[in-house]
Structure 1
Amino acid sequence: MTTANTANTANTANTAITAITGIDTAELAVAPPPPGPRLPVAVQTLLFSTRRHTWLPKLRRRYGDVVRLRIYPERSVVEIADVELIRAIFSGSNTVFHAGEGNVILKPVMGEHSVLLTDEDQHLRARKLLMPAFHGAALRGYRDMVSELADAEAARWPTGRPFPTHARMQALTLEVILRVVFGVAEGPRLDELRMLLGRLVDVGPIDILGWHNPKLQRIGPWRRYARGQQRVDELLYAEIGERKLAGDLADRGDVLSRLLLVTVDGERLSDVELRDQLVTLLLAGHETTATALAWALHELARHPALLDRAIRAADGRTQEDDKYLEAVAKESMRLHPVISEVARKLTTDLVVGGYRIPAGHTVMPSIALVQGDPAHHADPEKFRPDRFLGEGPPTGTWLPFGGGVRRCLGAGFSLMEATVMLRSVLSRYRIAADRPRPEPAKARHITMVPARGARVVAWPRR
């Protein structure tokens, strides 16, 4: 490394440290490591994987807003629950905070070009090429397609008996990705992709073990998963190849067709990049939106007055009605965060909140701890969509889509999707809880889902 490069790296680290802590790098030598539990890695990994929604609040009460954990495979991660520190991390240099490296566990499935797995210039290039497919005008173009699919799904719901809404919302969001994002037309390819992708997104801890172990991929369930993933890739590349030859791309309304038309500095996404971004949109947008909607219905079914207000909004067609349905979705995401934190791997030693964190460690701004903090949200355990009307909660205290330059590109799509789907369900049905006691959350790979599938009873309104 040249002297000039060394100086630039030092300056970058200096700026990031000052932004976060307001102290000089000299304090790195004396700053202590973050506190945290001394349990074995295996025990901490198990607790984090299965009980993080109850374990992390206990750790915060004991150790404070900066807590070191030892979790496989990263070994050393630091949970951050202070809003100011999180804001500084999100706005920090992308050469210091590597989100792509923090998500490396997803690389075998999403691919090395995924916008979630790249950093610095490569990430910025990917965002520029993806952004046009998710701006305001594009979202308005997707709305009618989403509405048509949501109406068709709602019409199939059973009535007068309990059923799990989570499974139905998963089926719906998968259909939206196949038709609105991938743009696959009716036919054998759509049928096969529907079956294969349903398996691909149904990831459990056992499946994840095989992602990074080629030997496991030769046997049992890991072999079946690997073969399914290979077949999905074959079908996606076939779809991309055929779509590139279509003469009506500009008239098509799906995300893939829009991405094929986008250029930045004369460059387009390659076929491999398109494949990686499509799979990323599938994995990032399928489970999260479906789970948020299932939690929303779970809460509305237990709050008749709020359900009445949401039904009136579903029957209306004004901007205010849309805002209320969106507020229901946002409050669901706040009260029941689907993803509990985001990750940034450090490329240099930093002092964060008075503690020294070495390069190579991962800092994890905690979505769940911030959104459940009474200092930011009054009565945080209560479902109150009104908190998202008007000015809404304080900036930086609602984080389901992350923040900074890494904020989820599909945030607007997800909220539009949730609003449309709630309208389709509530304009057709009145829902009720199947039992008085609320469902607890349970861990499902990296997400938190309703333990019983958010079961409700639906009654036709007309």
Structure 2
Amino acid sequence: MAAQTPLLGSRTLDRQTARTLPPGPRLPTLVQTVLFASHRRTFFPRMRERYGDVFTIRLVPSSRVVVVLSRPEHFKEVFTTPPSVMHAGEGNTVLAPIMGNHSLLLIDDEDHARMRRQLMPAFMGNALRGYAGMIAELARAEVESWPIGVPFKLHDRMRQLTLEIILQVVFGVTDDDRLARLRPLVDRIVSVPPVIMLGGFYPRLLKFPPWSRYLDTQRQVDEILYDEIAKSRENFAGRNDVLSRLLEAGTWSDVELRDQLITLLLAGHETTATALAWAFHELARQPEQLRAGQLAADEGDDERLDAIAKESMRLHPVVYQVGRRVTETVDIAGYRLPRGTTIMPAMGLVHADGEHFPAPEEFRPERFLSEDPPAPGTWLPFGGGARRCIGAGFSLLEATEILRACLTRYNFQAPNPKPESAKPKNVTLIPSRGAEVLVTPRT
């Protein structure tokens, strides 16, 4: 990996630069970090209301300077600035012990461009269409096992399903014994507690529990993955899983492949499961929207199903913000920001802005079906620019097939009509009660 750009923080911020930064709270860094980590969905709107569309917060480590943006035109400035100036990988270094140094989320510049070129063919056009049947089959098998007439946490079942899709459709593992061995191990990997991420800032911790236990689980998963990679190298022609398509499209080392597979696992598992859980949280409380979704599922109206998924991602942003580290002085949002500044476009603030989404607190899939859809650059659950999530198409395809499998089979009710709040889980925001639903067969 390339040398890191020094963080702009308490040790590197001079008084003159401090006076020219956007305004922001003067709370202690630790307090701001806790508010960001645990209450960002209320903390950010309050900061915007008090300080304006651009504000500065301080986060650990080193009381780093983070400039938060809340307007699409400012996002565009970030996303159209050359990637060599806006390093996203450096903002994710905390994930290195988990995802690996070759992860697409952790690399920048030419390394990132090369890796992205090799990944793209597996997530476009015919490749995507080739996954639909496998995803649909796994979705139907899962929903057939749901309890009837009793409340259950849908988020848990969606996590099981998206995990199974990753194991079989992405990793290409179909052997029953190997799947049985992988499921509990991978579940421990994706259920990574926030404390494990401290190992990215303080590598010495990795020698001690719970970090050492997590790394031991990771080694067991790696052993199976490397064996799958070796088998796939021998025979990938004609196979439809993502791993086989990656081997067909690029030149990879085993370590590079392993890091991309783990990245797809961690970035694509919880996010899609949570978006779907929020979608059914809304459908279970709105009978008219539920009936419209069921009709779309019956008639093969994929545009409507896609709109349900998109509106869920807007109303309940699973990932609230993204980060970039500036490698040289740059002008953004009317401010001259020095090297080392962390810039944070907060998509959640745009998604909740009535200027871009009338009645933003309401669940309206029709927004994405009208003749006047949301303006470009206002719906950003997958980020933007050169770092836009490479799995965006796969995620929406997955959501459409899962919605179809659920809506053709069941009616949905909310056992507790009171809406669930968003609860932080690592970098995601999940339903606080697990998206509780009650399902009954359609007649």
Is residue 314–residue 422 contact of structure 1 (8 Å, CA) maintained in 2?
yes
SS at match of 1:220: coil
Is residue 207–residue 222 contact of structure 1 (8 Å, CA) maintained in 2?
yes
Q: What amino acid maps onto 2:274 in structure 1?
A: T
Cα gap change, 1:344/1:307 in structure 2, threshold over 3 Å: closer, same or farther?
same
How far the C-alpha of 1:215 sits from its partner, in A, is 3.7
Which of the residues 18, 35, 54 maps onto 1:47? Answer: 35
- Measured against aligned partners, the alpha-carbon deviations of 1:286-327 in whole angstroms (never above 9, x if no partner) come to 00000000000000000000000001011112xxx1000110
CA distance in 2, matches of 1:143, 1:275: 24
Who is 1:224 aligned against?
A: 213
Who is 1:65 aligned against?
A: 53
How far the C-alpha of 1:387 sits from its partner, in A, is 0.1
CA distance in 2, matches of 1:302, 1:172: 23
Which of the residues 375, 384, 389 maps onto 1:394? Answer: 375
Is residue 34–residue 357 contact of structure 1 (8 Å, CA) maintained in 2?
no
Q: What amino acid maps onto 1:305 in structure 2?
A: E
Whether 1:329 and 2:324 are equivalent positions in the alignment is no
Q: What amino acid maps onto 2:339 in structure 1?
A: A
SS at match of 2:56: strand
CA distance in 2, matches of 1:60, 1:205: 26
Is residue 78–residue 332 contact of structure 2 (8 Å, CA) maintained in 1?
no
- Measured against aligned partners, the alpha-carbon deviations of 1:382-419 in whole angstroms (never above 9, x if no partner) come to 00000011452011000000111111111010000000
- Measured against aligned partners, the alpha-carbon deviations of 1:215-263 in whole angstroms (never above 9, x if no partner) come to 43333322211100111111111110111112xx221100000111113
SS at match of 1:458: strand
CA distance in 2, matches of 1:207, 1:117: 17
CA distance in 2, matches of 1:220, 1:134: 37
**1:141-290 correspondence to structure 2 within 5 Å:** 141-246=130-235, 249-263=236-250, 268-290=251-273
Whether 1:121 and 2:110 are equivalent positions in the alignment is yes
SS at match of 1:185: coil
Who is 1:96 aligned against?
A: 85
Is residue 31–residue 351 contact of structure 1 (8 Å, CA) maintained in 2?
no
Whether 1:140 and 2:120 are equivalent positions in the alignment is no
Is residue 128–residue 393 contact of structure 2 (8 Å, CA) maintained in 1?
yes
Is residue 89–residue 105 contact of structure 2 (8 Å, CA) maintained in 1?
yes
Q: Which moved more, 1:409-418 or 1:226-235?
A: 226-235
The TM-score normalised by the length of structure 1 is: 0.90
Who is 1:83 aligned against?
A: 72
Cα gap change, 1:37/1:29 in structure 2, threshold over 3 Å: closer, same or farther?
closer
Who is 2:294 aligned against?
A: 311
CA distance in 1, matches of 2:66, 2:279: 31
Q: What amino acid maps onto 2:418 in structure 1?
A: R
CA distance in 2, matches of 1:432, 1:459: 9
Who is 1:22 aligned against?
A: none
How far the C-alpha of 1:44 sits from its partner, in A, is 0.6
Which of the residues 335, 343, 363 maps onto 2:343? Answer: 363
How far the C-alpha of 1:30 sits from its partner, in A, is 11
Who is 2:13 aligned against?
A: none
SS at match of 2:237: helix
Q: What amino acid maps onto 1:334 in structure 2?
A: R
CA distance in 2, matches of 1:233, 1:165: 29
Is residue 96–residue 346 contact of structure 1 (8 Å, CA) maintained in 2?
yes
Q: What amino acid maps onto 1:461 in structure 2?
A: R
Who is 1:14 aligned against?
A: none
Who is 1:449 aligned against?
A: 430
Which of the residues 404, 424, 429 maps onto 2:385? Answer: 404
CA distance in 2, matches of 1:138, 1:80: 35
Who is 1:433 aligned against?
A: 414
Cα gap change, 1:185/1:373 in structure 2, threshold over 3 Å: closer, same or farther?
same
Is residue 216–residue 222 contact of structure 1 (8 Å, CA) maintained in 2?
yes
How far the C-alpha of 1:189 sits from its partner, in A, is 2.1
Cα gap change, 1:348/1:31 in structure 2, threshold over 3 Å: closer, same or farther?
farther
CA distance in 2, matches of 1:204, 1:111: 17
SS at match of 1:395: coil
- Measured against aligned partners, the alpha-carbon deviations of 1:323-381 in whole angstroms (never above 9, x if no partner) come to 00110000000000000111110001223223232211110111100111111000000
CA distance in 2, matches of 1:392, 1:291: 24
Who is 2:10 aligned against?
A: none
Q: What amino acid maps onto 1:306 in structure 2?
A: Q
Quote the sequence identity (%).
54
How far the C-alpha of 1:433 sits from its partner, in A, is 0.5
CA distance in 2, matches of 1:442, 1:254: 33
SS at match of 1:438: coil
CA distance in 2, matches of 1:165, 1:271: 36
Q: Which moved more, 1:212-221 or 1:36-45?
A: 212-221
Is residue 65–residue 342 contact of structure 2 (8 Å, CA) maintained in 1?
yes
CA distance in 2, matches of 1:282, 1:205: 17
Q: How many residues align?
A: 426
Q: What amino acid maps onto 1:229 in structure 2?
A: Q
Whether 1:36 and 2:16 are equivalent positions in the alignment is no
Q: What amino acid maps onto 2:429 in structure 1?
A: M
Is residue 31–residue 355 contact of structure 1 (8 Å, CA) maintained in 2?
no
Which of the residues 339, 352, 374 maps onto 1:372? Answer: 352
Is residue 293–residue 418 contact of structure 1 (8 Å, CA) maintained in 2?
yes
Is residue 341–residue 368 contact of structure 1 (8 Å, CA) maintained in 2?
yes
CA distance in 2, matches of 1:218, 1:189: 29
CA distance in 2, matches of 1:192, 1:349: 50
CA distance in 1, matches of 2:128, 2:91: 29
SS at match of 1:231: helix
- Residue ranges of structure 1 left out of the alignment (5+ in a row): 1-27
The TM-score normalised by the length of structure 2 is: 0.94
Who is 2:3 aligned against?
A: none
How far the C-alpha of 1:29 sits from its partner, in A, is 8.1
SS at match of 1:250: coil
